[in-house]
């Protein structure tokens, strides 16, 4: 389908509210602002605390949050996604879901507090650090108390209303952690205090934003209606979580908290931008595509636009981190953290594969085919353990990272195969995006190869960061140029989004 045909199809299919695409872009604007703001605050907090704390402190906190999340995912029936996916009103389910979660999290909190010592011993943590793991049970309780009716904002794509909550929570996390680290204890307890502040502020805003209070409702029988979709989501979310943290769990068990801290921070920083895009696509595209799941051509358009957004925002970030990760780490974190550079570079590229897989999974779920995602996850699960173990034996932590990424590549191939069957997307549709990103990436790689030694020879990190910015500009220039020559791809998606947001410059508006 040509770009003109795509635009015509969109214009003629818009209902009175200007269409799901328009609402998705408007909602995506606020969601992206919120996610970007929280990531910036989180990064600023890390840059400050990295000069105060040591990698081992982050290793201890990684174990704590891993256990909090694992207990949640193991027992979460998938009600949240099932509520979002439904077209009809879900009000009758909300109080029962909230009551179910209160009981569930209460039990989980007790288990974590009781078993914290054993968990700490498993990950080579000492007795004082075990107290932090036990205290993670408090976070579970706070999460359970949050207002269940916040799900209506996700269903209605009303992310502007969630923006204040997320930013306030992140400010609380950063501010409290920094103050505690500077005045009370430069230890993992500073990080835990920050997490405690985040949960409390998030809980408070959930009731300020949605004043309708949940009530106790033990009529769990009505929740059977949610299990049809939820059972598949449960397996998918659990496997997603295992994949996200398996390598960190492995490192924590086989090595030490210091290496775990370096590995986890390197992996997280390597996926920073791709994580934002994944969140954006998951939160916006899932409910939006669920609304048009009966119109395959609109689903195809949504998929292609999601790929274009990834190419515009995430690919240049991953490329620059992989080429100039050392300069960025030295400039922002200091030499104490330089050991995470190789992990950062590996995951900067690897997380791009994860993001593409996430787009496929979002489309499959929105079409009511979560069993496809479960099948893909089971394939990945079968490959992850042997690949990670083999990589670790060959090259320790970096080898483990490369083994994990190899399983992502295999899963991507399987996702592409299933996409052809489920929503009939083919390679011709992706050619504009493919040639745009390939041309831009090659241009940046060759330019950096020619000038890297000269830049590094200056020994000036400010010059190094300026060079990184220059490479980013080259990528965008080449990518948009190739896209315009082809008459489709990222340039036209960027123009389309800008038009919906009302920020298209007049000089472009007159030509399009």
Range among 31-40, 54-63, 156-165, 193-202 with highest mean pLDDT value: 193-202
CB 316 within 8 A of CB 470: no
- pLDDT tens digit sequence for 35-85: 778 888 888 898 899 889 988 899 999 899 989 988 888 887 777 666 766
Residue with tokens 């173990």: 389
To the nearest 10°, report the CA torsion of 13, 16, 17, 19: 0
Give me the pLDDT at residue 191, please. Answer: 95
CB 54 within 8 A of CB 259: no
- The pLDDT confidence band at residue 441, using thresholds 50, 70 and 90, is very high
Question: What does the chain come to in residues?
Answer: 512
Q: Mention every residue, 6+ apart, whose C-beta is less than 8 A from residue 59.
A: 252, 256, 257, 258, 259, 260, 261, 264
Residue 117: CB atoms within 10 Å: 15
What average pLDDT does the segment 455-473 reach? Answer: 84
Supply the DSSP string of 119-175, one letter for each residue.
HHHHTT--HHHHHHHHHHHHHHHHHHHS-GGGHHHHHTT-THHHHHHHHHHHHHHHH
d(CA 315, CA 334): 25
d(CA 333, CA 320): 17
Give me the pLDDT at residue 85, please. Answer: 61
Letter string b/e over residues 141-155, b meaning 16 or more CB atoms within 10 A of that residue's CB: bbbbbbbbbbbbbbb
Residue 213 DSSP one-character state: -
Supply the DSSP string of 448-488, one letter for each residue.
HHHHHHHHHHT--HHHHHHHHHHHHHHHHHHHHHHHHHHT-
pLDDT over 90 for what percent of the chain? 22
pLDDT at 93 over 60: yes
d(CA 262, CA 343): 8
pLDDT at 382 over 50: yes
> Which stretches within 212-340 are classed as H helix?
224-254, 257-270, 272-280, 286-291, 296-332
Give me the pLDDT at residue 133, please. Answer: 93
Position with higher pLDDT, 269 vs 179 = 179
Q: Mention every residue, 6+ apart, whose C-beta is less than 8 A from residue 305.
A: 493, 496
Burial class from Cβ neighbours inside 10 Å (0-12, 13-18, 19+) for residue 114 reads: exposed
CB 60 within 8 A of CB 132: yes
Average pLDDT of every residue of the chain: 81
- pLDDT tens digit sequence for 327-379: 788 777 777 788 888 888 898 888 888 888 888 888 888 887 878 888 888 88
Range among 40-49, 116-125, 192-201, 275-284 with highest mean pLDDT value: 192-201
- pLDDT tens digit sequence for 277-311: 777 776 666 666 776 777 788 888 888 888 888 88
- pLDDT tens digit sequence for 239-252: 777 777 778 878 88
Domain ranges across the chain: 20-238
Burial class from Cβ neighbours inside 10 Å (0-12, 13-18, 19+) for residue 185 reads: exposed
Give me the pLDDT at residue 155, please. Answer: 65
Q: How far is CA 11 from the centre of its chain?
A: 31
CB 98 within 8 A of CB 151: no
What average pLDDT does the segment 407-436 reach? Answer: 87
């Amino acid at each position: 389908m040509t770009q003109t045909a795509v635009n015509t199809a969109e214009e003629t299919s818009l209902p009175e509210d200007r269409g799901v695409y328009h609402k998705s872009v408007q909602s995506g604007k606020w969601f992206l602002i919120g996610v970007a703001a929280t990531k910036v605050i989180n990064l600023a907090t890390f840059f400050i605390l990295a000069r105060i704390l040591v990698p081992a402190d982050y290793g201890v906190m990684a174990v704590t949050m891993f256990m909090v999340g694992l207990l949640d995912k193991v027992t979460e029936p998938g009600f949240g996604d099932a509520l979002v996916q439904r077209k009809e009103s879900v009000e009758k389910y909300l109080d029962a879901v909230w009551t179910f979660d209160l009981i569930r999290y209460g039990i989980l909190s007790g288990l974590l507090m009781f078993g914290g010592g054993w968990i700490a011993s498993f990950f080579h943590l000492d007795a004082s650090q075990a107290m932090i793991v036990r205290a993670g049970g408090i976070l579970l309780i706070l999460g359970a108390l949050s207002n269940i009716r916040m799900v209506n904002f996700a269903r209605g794509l009303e992310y502007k209303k969630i923006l204040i909550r997320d930013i306030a929570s992140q400010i609380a996390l950063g501010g409290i952690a920094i103050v505690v680290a500077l005045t009370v204890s430069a230890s993992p307890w500073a990080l835990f205090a920050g997490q405690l502040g985040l949960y409390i502020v998030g809980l408070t805003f959930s009731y300020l934003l949605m004043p309708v209070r949940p009530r106790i409702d033990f009529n769990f029988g009505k929740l059977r209606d949610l299990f049809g979709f939820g059972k598949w989501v449960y397996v998918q979310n659990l496997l997603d979580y295992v994949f996200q943290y398996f390598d960190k769990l492995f490192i924590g068990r086989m090595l030490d908290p210091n290496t775990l801290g370096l590995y986890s921070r390197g992996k997280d920083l390597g996926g920073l931008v791709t994580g934002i895009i994944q969140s954006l696509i998951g939160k916006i595209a899932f409910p939006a595509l669920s609304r048009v799941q009966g119109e395959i051509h609109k689903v195809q358009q949504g998929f292609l636009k999601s790929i274009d957004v990834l190419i515009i925002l995430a690919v240049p970030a991953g490329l620059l981190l992989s080429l100039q990760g050392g300069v960025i780490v030295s400039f922002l974190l200091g030499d104490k953290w330089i050991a995470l550079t190789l992990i950062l570079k590996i995951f900067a590229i690897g997380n791009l594969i994860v993001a593409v897989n996430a787009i496929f999974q979002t489309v499959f779920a929105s079409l009511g085919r979560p069993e496809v995602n479960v099948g893909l996850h089971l394939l990945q699960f079968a490959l992850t353990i042997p690949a990670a173990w083999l990589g670790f034996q060959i090259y320790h932590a970096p080898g483990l990272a490369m083994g994990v990424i190899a399983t992502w590549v295999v899963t991507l191939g399987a996702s592409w195969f299933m996409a052809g069957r489920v929503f009939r997307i083919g390679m011709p549709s992706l050619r504009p995006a493919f040639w745009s990103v390939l041309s831009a990436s090659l241009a940046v790689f060759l330019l950096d190869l020619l000038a890297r030694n000269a830049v590094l020879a200056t020994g000036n990190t400010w010059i190094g960061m300026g060079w990184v910015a220059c490479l980013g500009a080259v990528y965008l220039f080449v990518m948009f140029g190739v896209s315009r020559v082809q008459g489709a791809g990222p340039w036209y998606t960027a123009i389309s989004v800008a038009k919906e947001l009302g920020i298209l410059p007049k000089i472009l508006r007159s030509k399009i």
